[in-house]
Structure formats: C-alpha cells, structure tokens
Amino acid sequence: MKNAEREASFSEQKVLHPVHLFIACLEEKTGALGEISLKVDLNKTSLNNLAENLNGKMESEFFCMTVTKEVVQIFESAFNYMKRYNQIYVNEGHLLKALLTDSSIKHKLSEEDKNTILTLGATSRDMIAHLGRYIFPRINSQTIRKAKKYDEIMLGNFVEEHFSKEWSHTIRSGFQKEKPSIYIAHNENDEIIGFSAFDVYRNKKGYFGPMGVVKTSRVKGIGNALLHHCLRDMKEIGYEYAIIGGAGPIGFYEKACRAVVIPSI
C-alpha cells in the first residue's frame, strides 16, 4: 500500500487509482507475488496511463492521500473475499482478485496473464521451512498438548465442523499411528479451539499440515504455538526441511518460521 502511494505521487493528479495498487503488487519481490513480475510482462508506462481519467475522488482511512471511488470499491471487494474464506486479514490474494475485477485493468490483460496472476498470487501455495538451525521460540504453550488416541472422535468432529470433511479425514488417519503426530489447543474450559499435525497428509514424510484455529481464537498466538510444536518434533526426528502444503495465509508462515514459497514450475 505504501508502494502504491509512491506510484500515485508520481502522477500529475496525485490521486491513487486501482492501477497504482496493481503496479505495487507486480513490483513486490517477496512472498506469493514475487514470481508474478518474472512471468507476466506488462508495460508499466502503459498501465500508468490508465490513471489519466479521474472518476471521482474520496478520502480513505487506509491511505495518506486522495483515492478514487474505485479504490474504495476494490477494498470492499477484497474484504468480501476475506470473509468468504473465513479469514480475518486481507491478504495479497484477496486484493489481486478484487483488482482483476476493475474494468480498466482486466481489459489490459490477456486471459493467460489473468490466469497466471491468479494462480501465483491468489491461490494457496506450498512453502518450505529450513529446520537445520531451527530453535524452538519462547511461546505460551500452556494451552497446547499432544493428542492421545482417545482424542480421535472429538478432534475429528471438531475439524469437520469448523473446517472440512477432507481435513477431518486426514486428521483421523493420523490416529492410526501408535503416537499421533498431532497437537491440540484448548481454552480455559478445556474445549478444543485449534489443532496442528505433520506426517498425516497421505502419509507424506516431512509434510506439515493441516492446521486450524477457530475464528474467535485467532490473533492470540495459538496458531504460532501449534506450528512450532510440530516443527520442534520434526526437527528432533531429523528432518532438514518442513514442507507446508497449501499454505494460507502465506504471510503468517513467512513471519512465524521464515518459510518461503516454493516456486512454480
């Protein structure tokens, strides 16, 4: 968003348009957006020309400069995507999806470019975390415990109710092991509020996930604690790397364990 403001500051009108947000996304070199600039060749000057005609100016709490009404609509759309996916933060994928609904931008892109942008920036991506020098961080572990055999039915039902049948099936399969590689988070009433696992998805070794925390208990460090309990076990087993399958949101794993997106082929 800061980079979008910088792009808009170079324009004659000094008004932020959707295209300035789009350019900022394309110029991002890290995370899910890092590959887009390598695989989508767009003319920045041509894109900037889309901002010549003003369609109405507004103030926005998210920016330090005037924006067009289309920018406000873009963020409203991004918020709707966030809610649809049962998430609590707007991420780059929500924003990209919303930006590609803007008439001026989508008419500037080929169908191939649109598909590439959505595939790279708006879908879940596999990530990898290096465990060679991993150190278990200082975190609150009081609400986290290793799952026992008797947790299978309760946890399986919890995962199916709050997440999906597919995840529930995956977690239930993890209880076939003598010692399930699954962790559970609970609240002060001993109710399950989250879970994490590794080596349970199709029995793939070194594969972290799935993990989930109920929406009402997010942003409390619970997901971070669940993740690190699994990573510590994986490190002790001897894994050099942890593969995080279908990671989302990507920013969480980048910050929590310095995981990086695995480039697409």
Per-residue pLDDT tens over the stretch 149-186: 999 999 999 999 999 999 999 999 999 999 999 999 99
Q: What is the mean pLDDT of residues 208-236?
A: 96
Tokens standing for residue 265: 């082929």
Most confident of 27-41, 45-59, 156-170: 156-170
pLDDT digits (tens, 9 = 90+) for 71-121: 999 999 999 999 998 888 898 889 999 999 998 898 889 999 999 999 888
Are 185 and 143 in contact by the 8 Å Cβ rule? The answer is yes
Q: What does residue 29 show for φ and ψ, rounded to 5 degrees?
A: -105, 0
Are residues 156 and 257 both part of a single domain? yes
17 and 71 both lie in a single domain: yes
Q: Where are the beta strands (DSSP E) in 16-88?
A: 57-58, 67-68
What distance lies between CA 168 and its chain's CA centroid?
21
46 with 148, same domain? no
Q: Which domain holds residue 191?
A: 128-261
- Of 123, 145, 161, the position where a domain reaches its end is 123
Instruction: Count how many domains the chain has.
Output: 2
Domain check: are 28 and 112 in the same one? yes
What percentage of the chain has pLDDT greater than the value 70?
Answer: 98
Residue 149 and residue 200 in one domain: yes
Helix (H, G, I), strand (E, B) or coil at 196: strand
**CATH code of 132's domain:** 3.40.630.30
pLDDT, tens digit, 9 for 90 and up, residues 182-216: 999 999 999 999 999 999 999 899 999 999 999 99
104: its two tokens: 């001026």
What pLDDT was estimated at residue 210? 96
Final residue in a domain of this structure, among 90, 123, 156: 123
Cα Rg of the chain, angstroms: 21
Asked if 250 and 145 sit in the same domain, the reply is yes
Instruction: Mark which of 102, 123, 144 sits at the end of a domain.
Output: 123
10 Å Cβ neighbour count for 170?
18
- Using a 10 angstrom Cβ sphere, with 0-12 exposed, 13-18 middle and 19 or more buried, the burial of residue 210 is buried
